[in-house]
């Protein structure tokens, strides 16, 4: 491999000749060979850096044109556009396990943009610190990248995936109107419910999760940029924080604002904790929904068997013909991962000491993984499971009329304790509720038929 010599404030470093990164990025590559190839800084963060560096150049060009000249501005913007597009991803090699402030990832962006921008300009035009990092610090750029990335993934991927599942459940509610089945509590028989009512519970859970995520977005749209090193805004011109937030808004089409208190913005990560709490709530509901579906589809002969789900692949290497609820299992595993990520995020956010949190890379790595996994699994869950759910009407009817908890309908007529005796006698002797009730002398057969209508109990 061919190398070129780059230098920073600590001296000279050999850098692969074909890469745009510089000395500080190379030092990080050499000093943190942890999880290489597996836990690279998320590409959503790389893209967010492209956005914020372009926005910073826009603000600096307006506020400090004598330093951010038109030529430098054009070169930085052109390089940032390539970063945003992802075409320069191979020039961002750093792993999550680096400095807790994300300084090396900020410098990675500065060096790549400076070298690529200079290449576009046709001469050594840009310095990574003086030009690309103008009016900024790693301490305010990395928190800003975190918020930009979080907002974009929630709005562009997670919420649309929720909407698709909600629409699917709405369709299933309409298609299955009028079907009455047995309800269940504590995994035991309960009073009747309509299948549409059961589905509506799933749908409403997702609608509420969407509301919670939407509620978390306004705080995430407050940006730390402009606080520089410790929140005072040292070396940033007056108005830079407002101008850069407006530029980020123009570039993303979202309404970002400057954080009103930069000391809070640099050290506290409560906005991300709150937003991930909404993702955890979504994960918890998806766990419940997926479990309900695989319980209801269990069998095919020895389980509940009240619904049919798509058969996607063979389920066993030894049992021929076995098909398993694999989509449900994938969803529940994602839910477990998200819940684990929430613990990591909460602990990382608690480690803000004095003027800076230094657990930011691991925090955003887990946040973005949760959002990505949830969006992906909701898509596959919809396509390969939910969209193909069908009721087993015969089994639902059979289970409904075999349920002892239908005895609840008799409470107003024979009282709770007598109704309990009817249920226990029917269960003990394996007879119908009607037979037990008549045998105990609580109602005549005719009166039982008059008051006992399971389909009307919903």
User: Which residues is 12 bridged to in the sheet?
Assistant: 7
Token pair belonging to 160: 């649309």
Q: Tell me, yes or no, if 298 is annotated catalytic.
A: no
User: What DSSP line would sit under 97-147, residue for residue?
Assistant: SS-TT-HHHHHHHHHHHHHHHHHHHTSS---IIIIITTT--HHHHHHHHHH
Pick the closest to residue 59 from 204, 223, 185, 232 (CA basis). 223
* 417: enclosing H helix or E strand: helix 416-429
Rg (CA), the chain: 30
User: Which residues is 180 bridged to in the sheet?
Assistant: 194
Of 90, 316, 350, 453, the catalytic one is 316
Alpha carbon 73 to chain centroid, angstroms: 35
User: What DSSP line would sit under 267-289, residue for residue?
Assistant: H--HHHHHHHHHHHHHHHHHHHH
Q: DSSP code of 162?
A: H
Of 186, 200, 216, 268, the catalytic one is 186
**Cβ-count burial 333-364 (b if 16+ within 10 Å, e if not):** ebbebbeebbebbbebbeebeeebbbbbbbbb
Token pair belonging to 261: 């208190």
Q: Tell me, yes or no, if 316 is annotated catalytic.
A: yes
Q: What residues contact 181, with CB distance under 8 A and at least 6 apart?
A: 192, 193, 194, 195, 198, 306, 396, 397, 399, 400
Q: Which residues are catalytic?
A: 186, 316
């Amino acid at each position: 491999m061919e190398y070129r010599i780059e230098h920073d404030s600590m001296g000279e470093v050999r850098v692969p000749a074909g890469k745009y990164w510089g000395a500080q990025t190379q030092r990080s590559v050499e000093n943190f060979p942890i999880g290489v190839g597996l836990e690279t800084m998320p590409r959503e963060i790389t893209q967010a850096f492209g956005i914020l560096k372009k926005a910073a150049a826009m603000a600096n060009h307006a506020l400090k044109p004598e330093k951010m000249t038109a030529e430098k501005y054009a070169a930085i913007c052109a390089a940032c556009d390539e970063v945003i597009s992802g075409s320069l991803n191979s020039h961002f090699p750093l792993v999550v396990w680096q400095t807790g402030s994300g300084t090396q990832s900020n410098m990675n962006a500065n060096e790549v943009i400076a070298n690529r921008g200079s290449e576009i300009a046709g001469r050594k035009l840009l310095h990574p610190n003086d030009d690309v990092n103008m009016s900024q610090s790693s301490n305010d750029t990395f928190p800003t990248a975190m918020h930009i990335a979080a907002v974009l993934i929630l709005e562009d991927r997670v919420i649309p995936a929720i909407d698709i599942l909600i629409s699917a459940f709405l369709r299933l509610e309409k298609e299955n109107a009028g079907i009455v089945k047995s309800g269940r509590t504590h995994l035991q028989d309960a009073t009747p419910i309509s299948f549409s009512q059961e589905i509506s519970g799933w749908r409403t859970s997702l609608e509420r999760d969407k509301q919670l995520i939407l509620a978390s977005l306004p705080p995430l749209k407050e940006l730390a940029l402009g606080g520089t090193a410790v929140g005072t805004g040292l070396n940033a011109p007056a108005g830079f924080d407002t101008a850069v937030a407006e530029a980020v808004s123009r570039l993303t089409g979202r309404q970002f604002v400057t954080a009103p208190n930069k000391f809070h913005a640099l050290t506290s990560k409560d906005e991300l904790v709150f937003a991930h709490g909404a993702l955890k709530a979504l994960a918890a509901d998806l766990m419940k929904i997926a479990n309900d579906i695989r319980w209801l589809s269990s069998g095919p002969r020895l389980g509940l068997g009240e619904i049919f789900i798509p058969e996607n692949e063979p389920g066993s290497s030894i049992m021929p013909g076995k098909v398993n609820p694999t989509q449900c299992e994938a969803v529940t595993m994602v839910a477990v991962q998200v819940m684990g990520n929430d613990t990591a995020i909460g602990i990382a956010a608690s480690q803000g000491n004095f003027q800076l949190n230094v657990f930011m890379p691991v925090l955003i790595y887990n946040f973005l993984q949760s959002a990505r996994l949830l969006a992906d699994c909701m898509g596959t869950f919809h396509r390969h499971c939910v969209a193909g759910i069908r009721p087993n009407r015969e089994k639902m009817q059979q289970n409904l009329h075999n349920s002892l908890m239908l005895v609840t309908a008799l409470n107003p007529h024979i009282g709770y304790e007598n109704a309990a005796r009817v249920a226990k006698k029917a269960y003990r002797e394996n007879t119908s509720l009607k037979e037990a009730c008549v045998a105990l002398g609580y109602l005549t057969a005719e009166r039982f038929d008059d008051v006992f209508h399971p389909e009307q109990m919903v």
